[in-house]
Amino acid sequence: MGALDETTALVTGASSGIGEATAHELAERGANVVLVARRRATLEALAEELEAAYDARAVVADGDVRERATAEAAVDAATDRFGGLDIVVANAGVGRGSDVASMTDEEYFTMQETNVDGTFFLTREALPHLEASEGTLVVVGSFAGQFPRSFNPVYAATKWWARGFAHSVAAQVGDEGVAVSVVNPSEVRTEFGSEDGEPFEERFEPGSVTEPGEVAEAIAFAATREGSSAQEIDLYRRDKFAGNL
């Protein structure tokens, strides 16, 4: 028996990186998992892996989190197939461009719509079900949402928004028994950055920064609290602040 037996989790950005690792972590602990991302074939392959490795039940709900209909369909998939929803992981996020002066409208709106609108749509759709189950919402934030980020102020602003939104939602729904957690990694060895150049999984050597599985473990820790909530968990590479004092 796993710590999450008979629970249902929904994970966005599940086709790679943190989302994929989180799907594995939650399924291994016994959860049914709804997988959300744009790449349906990749999600279907992941669903087969989860079912084979952990005897888990997994459902694919492909779509773009920037679209309200994706959140609606994903939550409906969870409730229709499994009868409820206990854990929601708002993980999908992107970074584009860098400095404000040269940022294109497309880069700006892609980050705003994915990191902000996607988190809002999912949270709004899921909250009634999390209230019914006294479940957990986990928002994947970032180091960039806690400290000034000269490299990309717009990306940082979307993560500041996500973090502030999550904490304010926690204040609103705490009386309903819903736990809300924010998990803030710094650099993680994933596909992040591939749209603008070298992805983090190639830029950083194994062991030099955080691995997706470490973030997934933190998300699972938040999802398994009983009667309390892990309000915020920071996962930084060990030398993140070296030379800054």
Supply the residues annotated as catalytic.
Answer: 155
- Say which residues have a Cβ less than 8 Å from residue 121's Cβ, sequence separation at least 6: 65, 67, 68, 70, 71
* Other beta carbons within 10 Å of 117: 17
Rounded Cα gap, residues 114 and 103, in angstroms: 16
- The full length of the chain comes to 245
